[in-house]
Amino acid sequence: MKKSKIRLAVLLFLLISALGAGIYVYYDRNEKPTDILLLYGNIDIRQIQLAFHDTGRIQRLLFEEGERVEQGQLVAELDPARFEAAVAQASARLAAQEEVLARLLSGSRPEEIAEARARVTAAEAVRKDAELNFQRTRTLARTQYVAMEKLDNAEASLKSARAELDARKQVLILAVKGPRKEDIEAARAQVKADEAALRLAERELADTKLHSPATGVIQDRILEPGDMAFPQTPVYSLALTDPVWVRAYVPEPDLGKIAPGMRASVHTDSFPDKEYPGWIGFISPTAEFTPKQVETPELRSKLVYQIRVFICNPRNELRLGMPVTVTLLLKEPRKVTGTDSVNPCREG
């Protein structure tokens, strides 16, 4: 009798335990929180390779690995001697061509015109003398007092004097009219070309100073002072840490639950008790298959959409490539056209 009671009690206990376990599993599977969405991703790795525009000898490197630089800050310099000489040469060439253009625009000087008139007067006198000599020689040749050879010489002298007079008159006309319009336009075009050459030389001189295009942290110092720099060879590798964002993936069934501007919180294994505020800044318009680095069972081999979650990282605790868990707060979706208006890092 006692054994039957004990057996019955054991069976009853097992039945109650199985029933409790079933209820727990049912509720655990079917009554998950509906106001949050958990996603898994990594802090995006974003880098810039800083290199000079031109070839040259590195004169100074101002930062070491691990140091933070601000956007626009000077980080390295080349030896500027060659580029300074090129600027001086281009500047002198431009000044000379500007003088040429100014001379053409000013036209002929009064002294030049007066000189041309004087030459015409002299040529006119020579022509008259040659004409009188020809007439006398022709008269004498008719009476055979001079040889025909002298008549021919006198005629040739007259033709030469007339031609010289015509040439001097043309010179005078050109002096009065001044330079041709085409010559002025050609000189003006050459001035513009020399100005462009000077600007290029000045730009190349400015490019001997390497400035950071963004705020970040020096990840690698690749070259050293004295090395030759080339446009194809980076001097520094810059890790972009401002802003920081997570690349995560949303399953297609959950796509309708999120929107740009929606608040999010991010957790890491390095700081498990710390929450980093964030917001959705981008949702991909195209679907893709789950990347291999996303290891959650629910997301494997499913069609997903990439999203970008911006994160507040004031103490620089989030490192590029770090795996994180993203919690999206579905109760308060905020649809906006730009992320700056809902930036929780800037809210009091």
Domain holding 248: CATH number? 2.40.30.170
- Look at strands 323-329 and 303-311 and give their pairing: unpaired
Look at residue 338 in the predicted model and tell me its pLDDT: 45
Q: Are residues 274 and 291 in the same domain?
A: yes
* Beta carbons of 316 and 43 less than 8 angstroms apart: no
Report the alpha-carbon distance of residue 236 to residue 249 in Å, rounded. Answer: 32
- Alpha helices, DSSP H, located in 70-109: 81-106
Give how many domains the chain has, as a whole number.
3
H or E element at residue 251 = strand 244-251
For 234, phi and psi rounded to 5 degrees? -65, 150
* Cα–Cα distance for residue pair 334/270, rounded to 1 Å: 29
Tokens representing 324 are: 């994180």
Domain that holds residue 160: 86-203
Q: Strand pairing partners for 250?
A: 305
Residue 140 burial (10 A CB sphere; 0-12, 13-18, 19+): middle
pLDDT at 19: 57
Write the burial class of residue 267 (CB in 10 Å: 0-12 exposed, 13-18 middle, 19+ buried): middle
Residue 5 lies in a domain: no
Q: What confidence score (pLDDT) does residue 93 get?
A: 95
Residues 124 and 212 reside in one and the same domain: no
Q: How far is Cα 146 from Cα 137, in angstroms, rounded to an integer?
A: 7
Domain-located, residue 14:
no
**Does any domain span residue 142?**
yes
- Say if residue 55 is in the same domain as residue 106: no
Q: What is the pLDDT of residue 16?
A: 63
Question: How far is it, in rounded angstroms, from Cα 18 to Cα 265?
Answer: 37
The answer to the question of residue 13 being in a domain is no
Residues 6+ away with beta carbon under 8 Å from 54? 78, 83, 204, 207, 208, 231
Q: In which order are the strands placed within the sheet that holds 216-221?
A: 47-50, 236-240, 216-221, 68-69
Only one residue has tokens 């992320």, namely 339
Count of positions (residues) in the chain: 348
What confidence score (pLDDT) does residue 348 get? 43
174 and 98 share one domain: yes
pTM of this structure: 0.62
Q: Are the C-beta atoms of 166 and 150 separated by less than 8 Å?
A: no
Q: What is the pLDDT along the chain (348 residues), one digit of tens a residue?
A: 555 656 665 556 556 655 555 555 454 544 455 678 899 889 988 899 999 999 999 999 999 999 999 999 999 999 999 999 999 999 999 999 999 888 777 766 677 777 877 887 888 888 888 888 878 777 777 777 767 777 777 778 888 888 888 888 777 776 666 667 888 888 989 999 999 999 999 999 999 999 999 988 999 999 999 999 999 999 999 998 877 889 998 888 888 888 888 888 899 988 888 888 889 998 988 877 766 555 555 545 568 889 999 988 777 788 888 899 999 888 765 554 444 445 556 554
The verdict on 99 and 162 lying in the same domain is yes
Is 64 domain-assigned? yes
Neighbours of 16 (CB within 10 A): 10
Same domain, 215 and 233: yes
Rg of the chain, C-alpha, whole Å: 46
Could you tell me if residue 197 is inside a domain? yes
A 10 A CB-CB count for 223 gives 19
Return the C-alpha torsion angle 178, 179, 184, 190, nearest 10: -130
What single-letter DSSP state applies at residue 227?
Answer: S
Asked if 134 and 104 sit in the same domain, the reply is yes
Specify which residues 240 forms β-bridges with: 216
- Asked whether residue 190 falls in the same domain as residue 249, the answer is no
Q: CA 267, CA 224: separation in Å to the nearest integer?
A: 39
Structural domain includes residue 15 = no
Same domain, 36 and 181: no
